[in-house]
């Protein structure tokens, strides 16, 4: 058994809108009605099939029939990443094994991984979200999509793969690693789009430079589909300036689906959420009360068409806001701000809350700085030692001590103006800091906790 209705809008063949994008423009009133119908179905499904959810509802005196409006979602209990660990492996699953089509798992920094079971319909919903993102980015049948996200338990590789395949793109499933070959294949096979983490694309840019490959002159690459780690607008601008591609932002998480939950349109107002499948809320992370659209808080998702592992009011730990304005592109699906800060990534340095993205934004406002940096924190008795190592571009790197010292001061001023702290800035030669084949680790925290 699965979610009984999977409507698509009738498509006008003369419309310039790609058929897969028709739902993006569903008028708000029927969209809210559809969401309510799907939410009611989901709550009933989870109540019947997931004992932990049922018990938590019973503790609150909530029954599925109490969900009469979308606002009634606030009656339901939250779920968190720790639930997926505490009830490892499949305590939150709603589907039986004979309905399960595929598992995905994501490893945390400690302890057991989280496991998500998906039915075939869940996989198709996820693929639909990915296809709508790629169509919104401007990809079409005939594009050649290099998937350099890792394939496997991680949702990045397979998510981008099936999204591109569904749209009719030619897929080059390179996965991560072997960067020298990635650049060669990109050029030789006329790749027009690449999907990977932004930090891995930086590595590909390095390798292309090493091989003397100019993206504009020697490749057909036009689109970068970047996600799976926070990245700043400054990083996006740097990538676009150096390669001439358009860097699109795709958002997703294994707990909810994978890449394709949300993405940015050409107006770049933020990321449109496919809220006909993934219902968003913003809550105050302290009081857990829902916040109105426009206010910044923690992003919470409820899957409203998923059977395998229905996630109800899942706290993502991502901080953002939902826009109140309608996007000029005409899509009715609400827009959230880009995620450049995750609450899990917050550092407390000298008592000040600092997000790595703030440091990245400051560094990349200095043109002579390359997009490679490392934040190192260590303790010396009571004082935190706060260092930022940052690479200088090949053009700006020289033996001129005075010029470098001048640059170092400008980098310090740029960072200080954002975070209000005075880190020790260490300029390093191009190509000396670690690169990544997947998600990069830019913060080294050696402080004793």
Residue ranges in contact with Zn ion by CB under 5 A: 265, 267, 327, 329, 331
Instruction: Please give the Cα distance from 146 to 195 (Å, whole number).
Output: 6
46: tokens are 């989870």
Q: How far is the CB of 274 from Zn ion (least distance, A)?
A: 12
Q: Which is nearer to Zn ion, 38 or 334 (CB)?
A: 334
Of 143 and 264, nearer to Zn ion (C-beta) is 264
Cα–Cα distance for residue pair 425/109, rounded to 1 Å:
28
Which residues touch 143 (CB under 8 Å, ≥6 apart)?
164, 167, 169, 170, 192, 193, 223
Q: Dihedral sign, CA of 40, 41, 42, 44? A: positive
Nearer to Zn ion, 136 or 194 (CB): 136
Judge whether 40 and 66 are in contact, CB under 8 Å: no
Which residue's CB is nearer to Zn ion, number 26 or number 73?
26
Tell me the C-alpha to C-alpha distance, in Å, between residue 31 and each of 157, 278, 321, 351.
Answer: 30, 12, 20, 45
Min separation Cβ 373 and Zn ion, Å: 31
C-alpha 100/C-alpha 85 separation (Å) is 20
Query: Could you tell me the CA-to-CA distances from 114 to 104, 106, 119, 236, 304 in Å, in that order?
Result: 8, 6, 17, 30, 20
Tokens standing for residue 294: 């426009």
CA distances from 170 to 92, 136, 201, 222, 248 (A): 36, 18, 20, 15, 19
Q: Dump the DSSP string for 183-217.
A: HHHHHHTT--EEEE-HHHHHHHHHHHHHHT--HHH
Distance of CA 28 to the CA centre of its chain: 25
448 SS3 class: coil
Contact between 180 and 205 under an 8 Å Cβ cutoff? The reply is: no
Give CA–CA dist 137/406, Å, rounded: 40
At closest approach, how far in Å is the CB of 264 from Zn ion? 8
- For Zn ion, the closer of residues 145 and 327 by Cβ is 327
By CB atoms closer than 10 A (0-12, 13-18, 19+), residue 184 is: middle
CB 17 within 8 A of CB 25: yes
What count of Cα atoms within 13 Å lies in the side-chain half-sphere of residue 392? 20
| Of 71 and 326, CB closest to Zn ion | 326
Please give the Cα distance from 19 to 4 (Å, whole number): 22
Write out the H or E segment, with its range, that includes residue 415. Answer: helix 401-419
Backbone torsions φ then ψ of 274, nearest 5 degrees: -80, 80
């Amino acid at each position: 058994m699965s979610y009984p209705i999977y409507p698509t809008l009738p498509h006008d063949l003369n419309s310039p809108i790609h058929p897969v994008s028709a739902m993006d423009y569903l008028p708000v009133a029927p969209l809210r009605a559809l969401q309510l119908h799907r939410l009611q179905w989901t709550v009933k499904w989870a109540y019947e099939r997931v004992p932990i959810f049922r018990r938590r509802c019973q503790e609150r005196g909530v029954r599925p029939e109490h969900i009469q409006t979308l606002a009634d979602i606030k009656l339901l209990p939250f779920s968190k990443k720790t639930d997926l660990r505490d009830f490892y492996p499949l305590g939150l699953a709603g589907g039986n094994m004979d309905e399960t089509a595929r598992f995905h798992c994501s490893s945390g920094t400690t302890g057991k991984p989280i496991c998500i079971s998906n039915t075939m319909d869940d996989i198709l919903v996820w693929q639909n979200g990915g296809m709508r993102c790629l169509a919104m980015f401007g990809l079409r049948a005939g594009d050649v999509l290099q998937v350099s996200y890792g394939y496997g338990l991680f949702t990045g590789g397979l998510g981008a793969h099936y999204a591109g395949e569904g749209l009719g793109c030619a897929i080059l499933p390179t996965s991560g690693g072997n960067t020298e070959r990635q650049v060669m294949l990109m050029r030789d096979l006329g790749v027009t789009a690449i999907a990977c983490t932004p930090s891995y694309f930086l590595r590909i840019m390095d390798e292309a430079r090493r091989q003397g490959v100019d993206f504009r002159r020697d490749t057909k690459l036009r689109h970068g589909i970047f996600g799976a780690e926070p990245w700043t607008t400054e990083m996006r601008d740097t990538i676009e300036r150096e390669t001439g591609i358009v860097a699109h932002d795709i958002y997703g998480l294994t707990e909810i689906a994978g890449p394709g939950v949300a993405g940015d349109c050409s107006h770049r107002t933020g990321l449109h959420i496919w809220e006909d499948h993934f219902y968003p809320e913003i809550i105050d992370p302290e009081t857990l009360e829902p916040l109105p659209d426009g206010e910044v808080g923690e992003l919470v998702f409820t899957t409203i068409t998923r059977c395998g592992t229905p996630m109800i009011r899942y706290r993502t730990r991502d901080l953002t806001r939902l826009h109140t304005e309608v996007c000029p592109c005409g899509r009715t699906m609400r827009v959230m701000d880009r995620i450049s800060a995750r609450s899990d990534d917050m550092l407390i340095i000298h008592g000040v809350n600092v997000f790595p993205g703030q440091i990245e934004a400051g560094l990349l406002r200095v043109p002579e700085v390359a997009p490679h940096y490392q934040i190192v924190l260590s303790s010396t008795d009571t004082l935190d030692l706060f260092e930022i190592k940052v690479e200088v571009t090949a053009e700006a790197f020289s033996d001129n001590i005075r010029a470098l010292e001048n640059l170092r001061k400008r980098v310090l001023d740029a960072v200080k103006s954002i975070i209000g702290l005075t880190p020790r800035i260490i300029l390093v030669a191009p190509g000396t800091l670690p690169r990544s084949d997947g998600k990069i680790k830019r913060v080294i925290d050696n402080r004793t906790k």
